[in-house]
Structure 1
Amino acid sequence: MTSYDYVHGYSERESVRLSDQANTLEELLHSDTKYPAGSKVLEAGCGIGAQTVILSKNSPQAQITSIDISEDSLNKAKERAAREGVKNVEFRVESIFDLPFEDESFDHVFVCFVLEHLKEPVQALANLHRVLKKGGTITVIEGDHGSCFFHPETEDAVKAWNSLVQVQARLGGNSLIGRQVYPLIKKAGFTDITVLPRMVYSDSSRPHMEEGFVRRTIIPMVEGVRESAIEMGIIDAETFERGIEDLHRTAAEYGTFVYTFFKGVGRK
């Protein structure tokens, strides 16, 4: 296993899930992320560009460099940017652990849903600290699977959900990293750090959240680890399938679902 194992894989379905997630959470996570005209921004770990398009739209006059270790993901990001008419982004295949940029090259750094997949998140942030200009900011957004609770809560649904947490842990990641955003940023040398939780709540009075977040983001995310969870002996197939069925009930008429993201901003 490397530092770049992605627990959800690189399937077309995962690309759709990431797009649905970004679109559903755009206002919640990104409405207060805007960079001044002329700013040089590094987006580290852009994936398929789901967040990149939002960054570009919110800061159309900033100069954004978006990097990712996966060339396939980057190609999808380029295609997405072209479809959306994005003009202010340069895409590059680069590693967050071997950044080719000179010291203090960027005014701002943006990292979203990346640290949870890394075995050495503090080192990654320290590398980003190096390429950030003095006085510049870093924005880090991560979820925390331990913040999740739902109704109806069944034993099988909890086991299916926890299988996702355990698979990611065995791959060297940390799906409970949201609660660590502040200490991670601080250990990497940043100051003036603020972290604000961003809670997602879904019930049948919010059909856009039931569909966009629970059915099209959360449940496919859990389903994506089915084979790995079974092969690792974390859960059996029958329990997993019953758990998925029960998770669907959380997006039904009497269901509810709650999850918290953590958005941290620090300064060099």
Structure 2
Amino acid sequence: METEYIHGYSTTEQKRLLGQSRILSEYIFRNIDLTNCQHLLEIGVGVGAQTILLLEKFPHLHITGVELSEVQLAQAKENLAMFPQFAKRYEIIQADAKKLDNLDTAGIDAVLFIWVLEHIPQPKEVLAEVRRVIPTNSLISITEVFNDSLFLYPPCPAVMNYWRNSIDFQYSIQGDPNVGARLGVLLSDTGYRDIEVTPCIIHLDKRSPHQRLTFLQYWKDLMYSHLDSMIQAGYTTFSEWEKVAAEMDILMENPEAVFYYNPMQATAKI
């Protein structure tokens, strides 16, 4: 059974995920090293956005991807079909990451999660299942949100209020918008070893104006992707969003603007 997804499954959102993967790739993949891995299990492929990047960045890699949502799975297959050069290097199947008994794990030597555990009510169950079925000594790499780390300058009260409401909303649908801060504990409690956890710092100011502008626009789009779900659940209103949008537009024009956010990344051995 699928849990509620904070961003929804609209065509607009599916396109946003593709753009997001490109914008975030230079930060996320600074610390993800799969050069010594041959067969990757990607948990939660979504629309295939990360899968495409992985196939590009690691040309030796074969990927088995699992995705629970039929809607996302269909879009992932469509997106990947646009890259016929990768056709023999991946397969994507529908599966619940908490029940991987039917997965062929032969040869898998690495497992990747990117923005997945935040949406799962019981992330320990998924980590325990992966550890149960994947061969010993395989690498696991996780990238996750830590939404309380957001900082903007000059202060943006409407944005920060909306952001806090989005955090509360995600908790209300059994997600965890700060799960990144708990990665070490989750991995330790489920029996992984050689655990390392590091912040993936995104700090943008006038030293990189183009990147800052790109990222602020991305962040505005990210917040907008929550809007319909948050309105329906009573966590915001459209008039509140208009204040958020106005503040973000002003911030994008301010040469003194600062953006700081640090997702968390963890690696471990099974």
Partner residue of 2:86?
86
After TM superposition, the structure 1 = structure 2 runs for residues 68-107 of structure 1, keeping only pairs within 5 Å, are 68-84=67-83, 85-87=85-87, 88-99=89-100, 100-101=102-103, 106-107=108-109
Partner residue of 1:259?
261
**Greater shift in the superposed pair: 28-37 or 135-144:** 28-37
Task: Write 1 or 2 for the structure with the bigger share of strand.
Answer: 1
Distance 1:32 1:184, change over 3 A: same
Deviations 1:179-238 (A, max 9, x none): 11111111121100111111112335434433432212x212211222332333323432
Residues in 2 aligned to 1:43 and 1:235: alpha-carbon distance in whole angstroms: 34
Partner residue of 1:223?
224
- Paired AA for residue 95 in structure 1: D
Are positions 1:119 and 2:121 aligned together?
Answer: yes
- Which of 141, 163, 169 does residue 161 from structure 1 map onto? 163
Deviation at 1:38, TM superposition (A): 7.2
Is the CA contact (8 Å cut-off) linking 1:150 and 1:255 kept in structure 2?
Answer: yes
Partner residue of 1:151?
153
Residues in 2 aligned to 1:38 and 1:148: alpha-carbon distance in whole angstroms: 33
**Greater shift in the superposed pair: 16-25 or 44-53:** 16-25
Extract unaligned runs of 5+ from structure 2.
Answer: none
Q: Once superposed, what is the RMSD of the aligned Cα atoms?
A: 2.0
> TM-score under structure 1 normalisation?
0.91
Residues in 2 aligned to 1:79 and 1:34: alpha-carbon distance in whole angstroms: 27
- Paired AA for residue 260 in structure 1: N
Partner residue of 2:23?
24
- Which of 190, 200, 209 does residue 202 from structure 2 map onto? 200
Partner residue of 2:246?
245
- Paired AA for residue 103 in structure 2: F
Deviation at 1:165, TM superposition (A): 0.8
Deviation at 1:20, TM superposition (A): 1.9
Write out the 4+ residue segments of structure 1 that deviate beyond 4 Å after TM superposition: 102-105
Distance 1:36 1:227, change over 3 A: closer
Partner residue of 1:128?
130
Is the CA contact (8 Å cut-off) linking 1:103 and 1:132 kept in structure 2?
Answer: yes
Is the CA contact (8 Å cut-off) linking 1:195 and 1:265 kept in structure 2?
Answer: yes
